[in-house]
Amino acid sequence: MDFKAIRIFEEEGKFIPKIVKRNIGDLPEGDVVIKVIYSSLNYKDALSCSGNKGVTRNFPHTPGIDAAGTVYSSENSDFKVGEEVFITGYDLGMNTDGGFGEYIRVPSSWIIKKPKNLSLKEAMIYGTAGFTSALSVYELISMIEPEDGPILVTGASGGVGSHAVKFLVKLGYEVVGVVGNEEKKDFLLSLGARETIIRNEFKDLSNRAMLKQTWAGVIDTVGGDPLSMAIRSLKYGGAATTCGNVAGGEIPHMNVYPFILRGVRLIGIDSVQCPKEKREEVWNILADSWKGDQLEDGIQEVLLEEMLEKVQDMLNSKLIGRVILKHSS
Ligand SMILES: NC(=O)c1ccc[n+]([C@@H]2O[C@H](COP(=O)([O-])OP(=O)(O)OC[C@H]3O[C@@H](n4cnc5c(N)ncnc54)[C@H](OP(=O)(O)O)[C@@H]3O)[C@@H](O)[C@H]2O)c1
């Protein structure tokens, strides 16, 4: 069986994307083959497409860390042909051919059965970004109540950040989002954020260990300076989650003082190896009480042929909200 896929080729040190014909026989090992109907675009996909060896070691490669579709063939009796399933994380799209191809073959231990109240499209509207966001919010709300004060979301216009804004607003929290420019402001306000801060203005030149106590909680998706600013301006007993490094892997100007003098907490979020039990619990929440009317707002659905342009937009920080890939066959 032949199918279409985006492949990234390494040619003389450059990484060239092409849409090519592949065969199910070319796919890596695994006990379940899935016909992919939807995938989505995450920052990691953009890195894989541009040849980032921290994400993908060997090329040619098919990116796509999220995939949703139906079981095409299965050597595991738990998964029946035609069953609706999806995958986020593990090695999919990193060093295992991913959802930017019309078929994938994966180990059955990676697969989540679609919850009843969620469509395959909705699962990919969430995708890794929504799931990571849900894990972050799940942790934060176990420590911080809405009446404790405002929650700051960094990278708020992005995939993880925009979902976090939606979840927090639905749960009754007051949200302030950091965005890259004025153009992204309205998008964030439309999601229910109370206010936005332009990222270039979210700076402190004093390098003081602690800043004015402002935020009860922080959902950080970018790391670097914004995370440093956010932790140093947490209120006494506040908490921050962090999941990304778009703004850098370091946390500049940080020391122990916010932790030992204000009792603040910093929680790391990993969606890739998240244990299956927690994965299923959080996906069930996403399918149910956190699923708002606004799930489809700000979503762009594109075909395989349009995907590479969206990857460039993501790399150039021009993208607003989530991009969903719909395979045409
Ligand atoms: N730990 C995990 O399991 C996990 C899972 C998924 C994603 N992640 C990570 O989470 C991060 C966000 O992922 P995503 O899918 O939401 O990406 P995304 O859609 O590209 O969003 C990231 C946002 O960060 C902002 N940004 C870009 N460059 C920045 C910079 N230099 N400084 C500060 N902000 C910047 C952009 O918004 P503005 O231009 O409006 O500021 C952008 O919308 C990535 O680092 C990703 O690798 C981690």
Mean pLDDT of 253-261: 97
> Would the CB of 199 count as within 6 Å of ligand 1?
yes
21 pLDDT more than 90? yes
CA dist., res. 22 & res. 213, Å (int): 55
Q: What pLDDT sits at residue 165?
A: 95
CA dist., res. 166 & res. 308, Å (int): 27
CB crowding 277-297: b at 16 or more within 10 Å, else e: eebeebbeebbeebbeebbee
Position with higher pLDDT, 319 vs 2: 2
CA dist., res. 43 & res. 317, Å (int): 10
Q: Report yes or no: 27 and 33 within 8 Å, Cβ to Cβ.
A: yes
CA dist., res. 324 & res. 157, Å (int): 16
112-153 per-position pLDDT tens digit: 999 999 999 999 999 999 999 999 999 999 999 999 999 999
Question: Hey, which of 124, 221, 242 would you mutate to test ligand 1's pocket, going by the most ligand atoms within 8 Å of its Cβ?
Answer: 221
12 pLDDT more than 80? yes
| Secondary structure, 3-state, 134-196 | HHHHHHHHCCCCHHHCCEEECCCCCHHHHHHHHHHHHCCCCEEEEECCHHHHHHHHHCCCCEE
Look at the chain and count its residues: 329
> Would the CB of 244 count as within 6 Å of ligand 1?
yes
Q: What pLDDT sits at residue 214?
A: 98
CA dist., res. 32 & res. 27, Å (int): 11
Question: Cα of 323 to ligand 1 centre, how many Å?
Answer: 14
Q: What pLDDT sits at residue 296?
A: 85
Atom number, ligand 1, closest to the C-alpha of residue 226: 33
Q: Report yes or no: 78 and 31 within 8 Å, Cβ to Cβ.
A: no
> Would the CB of 315 count as within 6 Å of ligand 1?
no
Mean pLDDT of 293-318: 90
209 pLDDT more than 90? yes
Taking only Cα atoms into account, the Rg of the chain, rounded to an integer number of angstroms, comes to: 20
Mean pLDDT of 8-31: 96
Question: Hey, which of 160, 167, 274, 300 would you mutate to test ligand 1's pocket, going by the most ligand atoms within 8 Å of its Cβ?
Answer: 160
Question: Hey, which of 153, 162, 222 would you mutate to test ligand 1's pocket, going by the most ligand atoms within 8 Å of its Cβ?
Answer: 222
pLDDT-derived band at 295 (thresholds 50, 70, 90) equals: confident
321 pLDDT more than 80? no
* Whole-number Cα distances in Å, 179 to 52, 134, 213: 25, 20, 21
Question: Cα of 73 to ligand 1 centre, how many Å?
Answer: 35
> Would the CB of 132 count as within 6 Å of ligand 1?
yes
Question: Hey, which of 196, 200, 220, 317 would you mutate to test ligand 1's pocket, going by the most ligand atoms within 8 Å of its Cβ?
Answer: 317
Atom 39, ligand 1: residue with shortest CA distance: 180
Instruction: Name the 3-class secondary structure at 302.
Output: strand
Helix segments in the chain, DSSP class H: 43-49, 120-141, 159-170, 185-190, 224-232, 257-262, 276-287, 304-315
34-64 per-position pLDDT tens digit: 999 999 999 999 999 999 999 999 999 999 9
Atom number, ligand 1, closest to the C-alpha of residue 47: 47
**Domains, the chain:** 2-114+298-326 (3.90.180.10), 129-268 (3.40.50.720)
> Would the CB of 129 count as within 6 Å of ligand 1?
yes
Two structure tokens written together for 278: 């927690």
Two structure tokens written together for 327: 């395979």
> Would the CB of 160 count as within 6 Å of ligand 1?
yes
211: number of Cβ within 10 Å? 16
> Would the CB of 51 count as within 6 Å of ligand 1?
no
Phi, psi of 135 (to 5 degrees): -60, -40
- Helix pair angle (276-287, 120-141), 10° resolution: 110
84-123 per-position pLDDT tens digit: 999 999 999 999 999 999 999 999 999 999 999 999 999 9
